Amino acid sequence: MTAKTYLCVDLGAGSGRVAAILFDGTSLRIEEVHRFGNQGVRLPTGWHWNLTQLFADILAGLGVAHRRYGDSIVSLGIDTWGVDYGLVDERGRLLGVPWMYRDARTDGGIAATDAVISREDRYHRTGIQSMFFNSLYQLAAEARHHSVTLAGAHRLLFTPDLLAYWLTGCMTNERTIASTSEMLRAGRPEWDVELAESVGIPTRILHPLIEPGTAIGELLPDLQTSLGCGPIKVIAVGTHDTASAAAGVPSLTPNPLFLSSGTWSLVGCELDAPIVTPEANAAGFSNEHGLNGTTRFLKNVAGMWLLQECKRAWDAAGSTLGYAELVEAAREVEIDAFIDPDAPAFARPGDMPATIQAALRESGQPAPESPGALTRVIIQSLAAKYREVLANLRALTGSTSPTLHIVGGGSQNALLNQMTADATGLRVEAGPIEATVAGNALAQMLAAGDIASLAEGRALIRRSFAPTVFEPRTA
């Protein structure tokens, strides 16, 4: 058969790309079409995203894809990082420049919300951990500051919803991305309207949700003309990138343990129903919505953000070391020093090497200066954190799976993979690197009828992209 092409727009907090998944009836092949940067922009008002530039980059990628794949293109899906959004008025016009989730305007937001409704009650209702960047606190901050943007808003569109609207003219809210907001009922496709109202969020902006696999619409006629293409369908995939990454985990057994390794490390497993017990809350786990009504029971760990920020500082100081070279340098170093990757000091952009060194000194540990040594501290600290999180997860869920699937860009880090296997005692299967793109495509393939189930799609991914195995080593 002639290969079918599924286009995947995958946007992370550091970069974005348009990729193509080619399906020949028996296996998948991924081709990168267009890659571009995505950096927050610091304006006088604070940190924002340059979404109009991202949209222009997406269109550039779609143009390349059309020229390359033509009529074999079946559909397009978009996934992005979570929590961030745009607000539009009754005429569909974007109001203001969308905020970046790391902006400081949410400072004090959790405490202010605690005074209205307890953290324990919020967790029981939503199943989501209270993190300073959640949409709930972003919108509550706009309400507290009497934002003209919020006052004039007719609809809330999360980042992939907004981009899909600009492509199709159709406004929707997809369930998996909405679940990152801390404003949905746990395990249910409905807004917690009472919670939103309690912190001043106007409920008129909260519209009904759609499921992954729903057709949103087709490219607008003027975009078809400018790109020289036909009416490409846009499908709502698991539009939160972690939802797509979890769908792309190549497990042959149900409820796999996974670690989606990128800017954030998302450590979790797939469940049939949420866990909203006090113990799950105390351990810091969230219950995000997945494909086919599943729950992603997971915890956020800082992940490659620490190394990305360090590299940004080293690059600014004239370093030419790439990520692979930093990891190789870390292999040559032995240092007994650890940080907590989730410490608040590491959450904001800034001079990350200096911040890590300060934390090490404050705890009485050696504070190395070389990039290789600091990279080693980051990697071994992440492995230790994964061990802690997975021990809690297994206790809460009863999981006895002997295998941890590490997917995403961080799965290329063989040193971290081996340290994770050693620290956890689990067999690590690393890959695919492009699990998010693969999971994005699976939702489109389900919509098209090319696969009958998520399990069938995962088996297809495993056949197409064999994982690399890391067995735990005994001391």
Catalytic residues, which ones? 241
Category of 303 on φ-ψ map: left (φ > 0), alpha (ψ -120 to 50) or beta: left
CA distance 435 to 248: 5
Paired sense of beta strands 468-470 and 427-430, if any: antiparallel
Burial class (CB in 10 A: 0-12, 13-18, 19+), 382: buried
Report angle CA 377, 378, 380 to the nearest 5 degrees: 65
CA distance 39 to 4: 33
Residue 80's contacts (CB-CB under 8 Å, 6 or more residues apart) are: 10, 11, 12, 158, 159, 160, 163, 177, 239, 240, 241
User: Which of 304-327 are b and which e, b meaning 16 or more Cβ less than 10 Å from the residue's Cβ?
Assistant: bbbbbbbbbbbeeeeeebebeebb
Answer for the pair 226, 232: CB distance below 8 angstroms, yes or no: no
CA distance 109 to 124: 19
CA distance 180 to 200: 19
CA distance 331 to 318: 22
Strands (E) in 137-208, as ranges, are 155-158, 173-174
CA distance 21 to 27: 10
CA distance 375 to 378: 5
Strands (E) in 81-213, as ranges, are 85-88, 94-95, 155-158, 173-174, 209-210
CA distance 197 to 191: 11
364: number of Cβ within 10 Å: 7
Answer for the pair 138, 111: CB distance below 8 angstroms, yes or no: no
